[in-house]
Amino acid sequence: MDKKLLGEINVQINKELFSGYLYLAMAAHFEEVNLPGFAHWMKVQAGEELEHAMKFFEFLNEIGENVVLDAIEKPDAKFGSPLKVAEQVLEHEKFVTSRIHLLYKLAVEANEYPTQIFLQWFVNEQVEEEKNATEIVEQLKLGGESGNSLIMLDRVLAQRKAD
Ligand code: FEO
């Protein structure tokens, strides 16, 4: 495989694991402020990120390339209001989308056809990830961040299941 593409896929494994770590930190924050539904949403997201990392891990194994694991960055420990956290999730997902698009671009430039097909799942997944985070940002903006609407949204998020 093209060396630059291989290096960036290994970076992506790290970024997906970091995403899970960041979302777990957010889950811990929501537990602390007694929003168990929001905490559940973040735990489900964290689980999905581990699955994303494993998809890249297994893909490299399948095509006979080396997985190289690096240190995972420390996530934030302090977070703002629920709206601020939801906006941070959306920003982070946009960053991940830009990473997936970079991988796709490199796979096209290197004529790596199996990698292009593999990455299509992630291109679609990022559309979903951004849509889900945007919905929560918009609902928090609509309903405000205190009182009944926040409690209602917390109850809705408590029902979230992994895609
Ligand atoms: Fe692995 Fe939420 O993107």
Q: Where are the domains of the chain?
A: 3-158
51 C-alpha to ligand 1 centroid (Å): 9
Alpha-helical runs (H) found in the chain: 3-32, 36-62, 82-109, 113-143, 148-157
Only one residue has tokens 């056809």, namely 113
What is the reported pLDDT for 144? 75
Q: Which pair of structure tokens corresponds to residue 103?
A: 């991988």
pTM of the model: 0.93
Q: Is residue 23 within 6 Å of ligand 1 at its C-beta?
A: no
Distance CA 100, CA 12 (A): 8
Confidence of residue 161 (pLDDT cuts 50, 70, 90): confident
- Express each pLDDT in 13-64 by its tens digit: 999 999 999 999 999 999 999 999 999 999 999 999 999 999 999 999 999 9
52 C-alpha to ligand 1 centroid (Å): 7
Q: Is residue 12 within 6 Å of ligand 1 at its C-beta?
A: no
49 C-alpha to ligand 1 centroid (Å): 5
Per-residue exposure over 6-42, b if at least 16 CB sit within 10 Å of its own CB, e if not: bebbbbbbbbbbbbbbbbbbbbebbeeeebebbbbbb
Fold entry, domain 3-158: Ferritin (1.20.1260)
